[in-house]
Amino acid sequence: MTEKKERVCLLQGNEACVEGALAAGVDLFAGYPITPATEIAELLSQRLPERGGSFVQMEDELACMAAITGASLVGAKAMTATSGPGFSLMQENLGFAAMVEAPCVIVLVQRGGPSTGLATLPAQADVMQARWGTHGDHPVIALSPASVRETFDLTIAAFNYAEKYRVPVILLTDASIAHLREKTILPAPEDIQIVNRKKPQVSPEEYQPYAPDADGVPPMASFSEGYRYYVTGCVHNEKGSPVLMDPEVASRLLTRLEDKIKRNRQDIIRYDTSHVDDAEILVFAYGSITRPAKEAVLKARQEGIKAGLFRPITIWPFPDEEFVQALGQAHTVIVPEMNSGQYAGEVARAVCDGGKQARVVRLLEMGSRLIHSDEITAKVREVARHGK
């Protein structure tokens, strides 16, 4: 009899991402070397051929995104990994993947920017690029882990969401999580839930590649399975034919692409809270800043300050309802982030849209230094002193 076995190991963030991808069933990885994401490519260059999967180092990141999107359309679970400069190059084909509804996973290990920036140091300044990097309105899901174990879990979740909703999913990590090693207990394989894209239930003659089911997601026939159809980045109708001068068709398609995320947000939104029930001050942190934020909240509580923590795990779509509920009667939200306030702006919008009055206080780091818990604690104390 075989025993269910968890694995105890010391794992790096990037290694956990690889383990997660393999657990999720990745078939193909296309990569291009870039700090601080390179370990993912290096590891998969060994692990994928060992299990009959495909690894290819492409000529640039434009090609990486193209290769994984192509592979996805012929049935592969496909992934790439990069950092800011490479992610900029991927935007063109990321939009294509969103338009043709090709499931795929892009790991974005953020580093200091803009341009070459600070190659080895962490940042969170690609939050908005992850949402709006490619041109045009498009659906996207982005997940942001705060630990090595969570990097493993969310890599699997990224594949599952990609397959379920036929969207590109971005795993948004940063140099500090990617290079952090932690004692990690990986779940037994039989405890991991895997989702695969749904296939058409009709004959090739009846199949309309872009006719959605009730959930807004069209069943996906892979090329080579007898369902010959046409895929295009042009606005297209349910048959897949380009329709270039019909506002009705365009509006129907683009609305559906957004709606398939919106109407399934309950399934997609992940978040975490602590001490929010009676919180007067809410610290809103994500990714690697979650951990100093958590420490700061614990310290504030020890000092008798009613502080709480809200942490979005799903960064996009923004968890409006969940955040507003956690906000409760809090008078202030403190947003520590390693950028010029990209996500804080979104927090302020959500406060306003939620009909709340809370003040949004930004605690920003522009020099790629991890925000220290003491800085967050100091800000919490300062806000507590001044009250509303």
Q: Within positions 209 to 228, which residues make up the interface with another protein, using CB under 8 A?
A: 223-226, 228
The yes or no reply on residue 40 touching another protein (CB under 8 A) is no
Q: How far is the CB of 179 from another protein (least distance, A)?
A: 6
Q: Which of 96, 161, 210, 318 binds another protein (CB under 8 A)?
A: 96
Angle between helices 38-50 and 13-24 (to 10 degrees): 40
The yes or no reply on residue 27 touching another protein (CB under 8 A) is yes
Q: Which of 42, 62, 250, 345 binds another protein (CB under 8 A)?
A: 62
Please state whether beta strands 28-31 and 314-316 pair in parallel, antiparallel, or not at all (unpaired): unpaired
CA atoms within 13 A on the CB side of 264: 22
The yes or no reply on residue 194 touching another protein (CB under 8 A) is no
Total residue length of the chain: 388
Q: Residue holding tokens 């010029």?
A: 340
The yes or no reply on residue 98 touching another protein (CB under 8 A) is no
Question: Cα(232)–Cα(7) distance, rounded to whole angstroms?
Answer: 44
Q: How far is the CB of 64 from another protein (least distance, A)?
A: 8
**Contact, 99 vs 69, CB < 8 A?**
no
The yes or no reply on residue 74 touching another protein (CB under 8 A) is yes
The yes or no reply on residue 179 touching another protein (CB under 8 A) is yes
Stretch that binds another protein, among 67-75, 153-161, 260-268, 277-285 (CB under 8 A): 67-75
Asked if omega into 319 is within 30° of 0 (cis), the reply is no
Asked if omega into 317 is within 30° of 0 (cis), the reply is yes
Q: Residue holding tokens 């957004």?
A: 258
The yes or no reply on residue 348 touching another protein (CB under 8 A) is no
Q: Which of 34, 40, 41, 78 binds another protein (CB under 8 A)?
A: 78
The yes or no reply on residue 199 touching another protein (CB under 8 A) is no
Question: Cα(271)–Cα(279) distance, rounded to whole angstroms?
Answer: 17
What residues from 297 to 326 belong to the interface with another protein (CB under 8 A)? 298
Q: How far is the CB of 16 from another protein (least distance, A)?
A: 10
Q: How far is the CB of 1 from another protein (least distance, A)?
A: 20
The yes or no reply on residue 262 touching another protein (CB under 8 A) is no
Q: How far is the CB of 240 from another protein (least distance, A)?
A: 9
Residue closer to another protein by CB (options 243, 348) is: 243
Q: Which helix (H) or strand (E) holds 57?
A: strand 54-57
Conformational region of residue 119, where left means phi above 0, alpha means psi within -120 to 50, and beta covers everything else: alpha
Residue 267, phi then psi, degrees to nearest 5: -80, -30
